[in-house]
Structure 1
């Protein structure tokens, strides 16, 4: 008896599903990592987990952006609170995490505010350096807390940035592998840069093909969720220039997209939105005429003439 296939998680979300997920994230009081675990394992069991991760990332980013100025205005008070907790004999390394929980902030965001206030830092690069190398911080308690936040924050910080970069590269390789398996010949980003192009898609098709009667000249890989706002930003920053230079193409949001995203008027410049690599049965390739084909055609034509 064949084993039952596991239920496939949803990647293409309706407006109602997307709204419910965003509402849950914005109404959740606590750390982002706990919010994400709650969504994946208790609240939205039928939704692709990586889609939930991406939506949470965007919602937390937008919230942090909206609230940043408020927290910056309280930076002196926040630093004083941390220093008082240290003076009262709190020796654990999760003081900043506890403060972040109470303030409904990401731990790394709070670290940035504390570092900026304590050392009167004007340049973001210096704060990033402290986050990447906490041992450079001359306050041992603060250094230990910052290091713990780097390990514990799943939305921000050097480890999170590294993880996202690795995932992005993994799916770019997946795109190239599937393209090769489908018999598609292409240039990758390195090839195109050597040819003098600056803004380049992940793969530029050498010989365009048809996908459901639409011409495809390039494919862009996005290890992300394609909500309408993110997709419009991607069009402005990247995809529009690809269409202008190379013609129509495909963007793949590997972790899914909002159901309205493929139907946005912004796509009319020649953008097709997918959640996976196109099926081979939907692809139509040009047949190149070789010297052998020409010889056979002439031979057949001569044979018909004699008859």
Structure 2
């Protein structure tokens, strides 16, 4: 089913009034049952990322970071099992994985008395068991598994889908006997930006 601009705008408007959670995706499907799950997920992701980009700076001020960190500490002191970081992220309309990154970085900075490297942060987000605090590790895990658009889990899914599409495209090119240069060959030749494939000989496409 082709999606019109009016339908897109209606979906985007609906998304402006719900929290960016998996539960919201279910509500979206119930509200627009005629649209496919993949279409709704794509729109959800696009609109969500627009929102995050618009508000990203305000969540990374020194005041905001300290506020989030202190709220996390106070929250887990009262109930360490509660999803403190996840609820905080939803409350301030910020991506759970990005909230986890902020608090994790602040925690490590206090523990090590130095700014942690991005490599270390990314490694701990991918594998929270590396975090030297069991409560925070659990909080970070809750954020990453409940984030629909950001975080290591989403990155893995996107990578898997991208690889699947690349395999299908390669099979189609081979089936049509079209000569092409693959991404790894382009990298070996020193190209900075490498699409999955480049046709060695241009082809005409007949469009109806």
User: What range is the shorter-chain TM-score in?
Assistant: 0.7 to 0.9
Kindly indicate which of the two structures has a greater share of residues assigned to helix: 2
Cα displacement string for residues 170-213 of structure 1 (whole angstroms, at most 9, x for unaligned residues):
11111122222334332222233345544333222233321127
* Deviation for aligned residue 1:163: 0.8
Higher deviation after alignment, 113-122 or 94-103: 113-122
Structure 2: distance between partners of 1:194 and 1:85: 51
Alpha carbons 1:32, 1:106 under 8 Å: kept: no
Specify every segment of 5 or more residues in structure 1 that has no aligned partner in the other structure, as ranges. Answer: 1-9, 214-281, 283-307
CA RMSD of aligned residues (A): 2.3
Specify every segment of 5 or more residues in structure 2 that has no aligned partner in the other structure, as ranges. Answer: 110-114
SS at match of 1:167: helix
What is aligned with 1:185? Answer: 179
TM-score by length of 1: 0.59
* Deviation for aligned residue 1:93: 5.0
What is aligned with 1:99? Answer: 88
TM-score by length of 2: 0.83
What is aligned with 2:112? Answer: none
Higher deviation after alignment, 130-139 or 194-203: 194-203
User: Which structure has the greater CA radius of gyration?
Assistant: 1
Alpha carbons 2:76, 2:82 under 8 Å: kept: no
User: Alpha carbons of 1:92 and 1:175: their partners in 2 closer, same or farther (altered >3 Å)?
Assistant: same
Task: Give the count of matched residue pairs.
Answer: 201
- The answer as to 2:25 corresponding to 1:25 is no
- The answer as to 2:128 corresponding to 1:134 is yes
Structure 2: distance between partners of 1:81 and 1:195: 51
* Deviation for aligned residue 1:92: 1.7
What is aligned with 2:206? Answer: 212
Kindly indicate which of the two structures has a greater share of residues assigned to strand: 1
Alpha carbons 1:154, 1:160 under 8 Å: kept: yes
